Structure 1
């Protein structure tokens, strides 16, 4: 990760944006302390791969012993 001071970032903003667009991450500092990070934007497109990956992540958070949605519906609970 590249570090650059706030003044230099202001002066060379368009060049930094080109670098970020190519995948570089840039940390902007002010008086030696990090204040901002420029990172490439992720695509907002939902692909099947992203959806499946997100479902697997959510599934990891399900604790053993918690009732399934079907069991909650049969009990008359709302989730």
Structure 2
């Protein structure tokens, strides 16, 4: 069951960010508004989502370490190559 969000304005969110993050880490959802219009929701990351992000980050690091950059690489020519 979703929790009912705490609604705060953007100024209050900026001023009390640390307190709001503590509430989010305990499972509460915080809705941030700007001039009364909902702009964003702060919500805890689901543990399974965090695990997927961690796995993806490790795969990206492994790929970056295994790949070498060519010295004669010209970014402009690579960009223009896809514009034919």
Which 5+ residue runs of structure 2 have no aligned equivalent?
53-84
Runs of 4+ residues over 4 Å off in structure 1:
none
Please report the TM-score for the alignment, with normalisation by the length of structure 1: 0.55
Please report the TM-score for the alignment, with normalisation by the length of structure 2: 0.52
Match of 1:69? none
> RMSD between aligned alpha carbons?
1.3
More helix by share: 2
Match of 2:22? 18
- Post-superposition Cα deviations, 1:35-76, rounded to whole Å, max 9, x if no partner, equal 010000111347xxxxxxxxxxxxxxxxxxxxxxxxxxxxxx
Match of 1:8? 12
Number of corresponding residues: 46
